[in-house]
A and B are shown apart, each in its own frame.
Chain A
Amino acid sequence: MKRWNSVPAALVMSVSLIALTACEEPKVDAAVFESLQQCKDEPGMLADQCEANFNEARNQHAAVAPKYTSQEDCQADFGDGRCEQAPYKTTSGGSVFMPLMMGYMMGSMLGGRSSMISQPLYRPASSPNNFRTADNRSAGSTTGRTRVASSATSRPSFKSSTIRRGGFGSSGRRFGSGAT
């Protein structure tokens, strides 16, 4: 378009990197493993790092995994024998089911983003070769070092327990509008 005629090519490139409005989502480096052992067997991975990340993902599993009130509904989405009972009860005392954790995506690793967290991965019955995050975002089918859509690396959501509120808002009370 004419508006870019006077802009050097290098500049257009740097702009288009950010203004990814019409393009596909950017991918980021990640590492995906089916098991702790598979991570340890991967050349260049440190056993300690594998373990720490596996534990981080494992610890989140029960909290972030999709939840079902019947085993059948869960298996319909994740396959026969691929669901387990969650450590929760419904308010009426019924059982809660969730898919088995089938792998994990590493957070901290060399060259990765340091604020990225490790998270459990699941395999949907509809495409059992693929990994999905707890928020149902695709993490691809490749194990080992791979690239995934950056949205797949965001922290999975879950019902949490808030320990404190009110840590934001003080500047607004002092200055009023934050508008410019």
Chain B
Amino acid sequence: MQRIPVTERPDLARAAAEHGLEYTAGEGITGWDERAYYQFMARQVDEDIEAAAEEIEGLCFQIVDRALGNEEVLRRLGIAEPFWDYMAESWRNNEKNLYGRMDLSYDGNGPAKLLEYNADTPTALYETAVFQWEWLEHAIEAGLAPKDSDQFNDVHESIVKALPQLGVGALSHFACNPDIEDDTETLKYLEECAGEAELKTCFLAMSDIGIDDQGRFTDLDHRVITTLIKLYPWEWIMNEDFGLHVPRSGVQFIEPPWKAILSNKGMLALLWGMFEGHPNLLPAFFEDDPAAASFADAGTYVRKPMLSRQGANIEIVRGGKTLHHTDGLYGDDAHIIQGFQPLPEFGGHYPLVGCWLVASKAVGLCIREDKTLVTGRNARIVPHVIAD
């Protein structure tokens, strides 16, 4: 695994406009940086990332299976009781999952370590699936990357193939918070994929969803929503006014309700509890667990909220001192304590390896770089190539 500095496309502004990405002169594309790329060997991607991610997915399913039958665990994850049966049913009925992104700490050697699993509302999808691929074609042509370079990137094809197999109804609704560009772009891209798969779609704001006198959710044309592909976290849905109507709404949600177990960082503690010592896992404990206190006593650990987004409210402690911490809106919530596996550093850049799963199959890679050990909202995606 190497970081190779290269020149960015001279017509980057045009490429950005073509793809609807935000471009600022002097700064480039928001969330994207092609002034370098990461080069992996095929073995590193196949064995250390792809195989590891799918193996972790298998472990996660065992966690879901166990957690849904355990009230104490559900309570610990902060999931409200009215949703317990609903989530368990969605699991028993094999309600299908579409996608997720595992964030791994990996430096090219040894096992990748799971830092977290964005199993419910992952973004950076379009940049991974489409923009990164287009960059590779340019990079090979311009001689920036070896002629026989490849990329771990079947994301687009996999999504187009998976969407029609989810058992969606005649019309699929797509909903998010439209005020957030990143969320909207990701969801619009998924809607495009659905269009390519010849599904009928309708895009709306979460706040535009209505309810009828029989507890069904409706769109702005009063059509009853039967499938909702949402880029809106499950814990928000459950806590909002319409939340209690969800279990009897008859809506098929993508991601399905059981994913709420996996998008919760408490899942990392459950994983460690069940598979302690697994090479791809870091020690992790619920903060109120006595084992967390004894682990933290050693002085080096990471403290994370169970439900936070984009690197918010994370504290890294090394040798008893705070090495790094981030602010955010999630500091009052329940936390986990996790082992500290620093991201590798390449000249002041800290790459986080994200492995995309579509229908539980590892299908692509996106590297996000930040200038600190915590990958936050200013992180930028840096493309990758595979070349031996």
Contact = CB atoms under 8 A, between A and B. Distances in A.
A147 to B, nearest CB: 12
A177 B224 contact: no
A26, A113, A136, A162 — most chain B CB neighbours (10 Å) = A162
B195 interface: no
B36 interface: no
Contacts of B58: 7, 11-12, 14-15
Interface string B120-141: 1111000000000000000000
A72 B61 CA distance: 52
Q: Indicate the member of A159, A160, A166 with the most B CB atoms within 10 Å.
A: A160
B122 A14 contact: no
Interface stretch (B3-11, B146-154, B204-212, B286-294): B204-212
B232 interface: yes
Given A161-B222, A178-B236, A20 B231 contact: no
Contact of B250 (A115, A164, A171): A115
A177 B212 contact: no
A117 B157 CA distance: 35
B96 interface: yes
Contacts of B59: 11
Contacts, number: 196
Interface in B194-234: 205-214, 216, 218, 222-224, 226, 231-233
Interface residues of B, number: 81
Contact of B216 (A22, A155, A177): A155
B317 interface: no
A19 B309 contact: no
Chain B contact residues, majority secondary structure:
mixed
A170 B240 CA distance: 7
B177 A172 contact: yes
B93 A177 contact: no
B327 interface: no
A161 B242 CA distance: 16
Contact of A150 (B65, B167, B247): B167
B121 A170 contact: no
B183 A168 contact: no
A18 B96 contact: yes
Interface stretch (B20-28, B73-81, B168-176, B318-326): B168-176
Given A12-B58, A167-B211, A180-B121, 17 more contacts: A3-B51, A14-B62, A20-B165, A28-B93, A114-B89, A115-B86, A149-B167, A151-B169, A154-B252, A155-B249, A159-B222, A162-B210, A168-B242, A169-B240, A173-B177, A176-B179, A178-B180
20 contacts: A3-B50, A11-B59, A12-B58, A18-B97, A20-B96, A21-B165, A25-B167, A28-B93, A114-B85, A135-B169, A135-B170, A154-B252, A157-B223, A157-B226, A162-B218, A166-B207, A167-B245, A171-B240, A179-B122, A180-B118
